[in-house]
Amino acid sequence: MSTEGFLSLLGTLATKFQIGLNGPMITSVSGKLRVRNALDNALANIEVDFPSDGDDAVPLDYLTSVLQSFALELRQITTSEGIQGGGDLSVDRNHKLDVNGLGALVGVDGSTDYFAVYDADAGVHRKVLVNTIIALAGGGAMDKFSMTCGRNANGINIWLRSANGVPLNQAPWRIAYTSTLVSISATTIGNETWDAEVYKNADVRAGGTPTDGNKIAELVLTAQNSGQITGLSAAVSAGDEIGVFCRGSAINRPHVTLWFEVV
């Protein structure tokens, strides 16, 4: 390839790389290739000696090496947040995780936010939901909670009492987390027939029997000293008030536990 052809080819490459090399930016002076650094408009020129075979031609292997060097210095690896090691391709680049360069995540949503993990079985990197990691770790954040009440005497159509002995119609449980009532369990000293009824926002602090309109679930026991029901899906919201009513005659030491799952 002639020197003129070589320079023309460089101009074509410059246009492709969108660096605007043209006209006087590339010149051949006394056996040297002189290229103005147009990337940063520096005044310095890059001079590269190239051999001549006597008829002003450039050997192919030399042409290849110059073009490779030219391209490597023009192309860039640009990293995004959390990655170090960008730059041009004229030298080897090592990319590293830059944790300190990441912004802090505020308001984690376990159902939409992800961790990056390595799948050893598949030999590839994958993403996994935050909630999945929490579940695998055995909970982490609260996902279930229970409430227990009872009466250390016979119960006859009466509100059961919390651990401090106060009837739940006078001082009901207040729900702290939006959740779902999923299970009720109950025990008595003897075999009894009765209903453990769960009420939401019954508003009977003055006393009295609750109305079914506020009942969200119940466990029915027939001549049993214990029982449970699972698979319930009674929704409660943060701030709701919960009470348990023992409906039956002379129920011997009723004891009830409610299980909730946080939504």
CA 216 to chain centre: 33
- Per-residue pLDDT for 35 more than 60? no
Dihedral-angle region of residue 87 (phi above 0 means left; psi in -120 to 50 means alpha; beta otherwise): left
Q: What pLDDT does 25 receive?
A: 43
Q: What pLDDT does 66 receive?
A: 63
Residue spans of the domains in the chain: they are 3-76, 105-136, 144-262
In the DSSP assignment, the letter for residue 43 is S
Q: What pLDDT does 43 receive?
A: 33
Tokens representing residue 62 in the block: 């030399």
Proportion of the chain above pLDDT 90, given as a percent: 35
The domain defined by 144-262 folds into Jelly Rolls (2.60.120)
Q: What pLDDT does 228 receive?
A: 97
The larger pLDDT score, comparing residue 69 to residue 237, is at 237
Burial (0-12, 13-18, 19+ Cβ within 10 Å), 31: exposed
Q: Convert the pLDDT of each residue in 175-206 to its tens digit.
A: 999 999 999 999 999 999 999 999 999 877 76
Q: Convert the pLDDT of each residue in 82-106 to its tens digit.
A: 787 777 777 788 877 777 777 887 7
Q: Convert the pLDDT of each residue in 200-253 to its tens digit.
A: 998 777 666 787 778 999 999 999 999 999 999 999 999 999 999 999 988 999
Tell me which residue has tokens 């935050």.
130
Residue-wise over 222-239: b if at least 16 C-beta within 10 A, else e?
Answer: eeeeebebeebebebeee
The alpha carbon dihedral of 179, 184, 187, 192 has a sign of positive
- Per-residue pLDDT for 8 more than 90? no
Q: Where does the pLDDT of residue 29 fall: very low under 50, low under 70, confident under 90, or very high at 90 and above?
A: very low
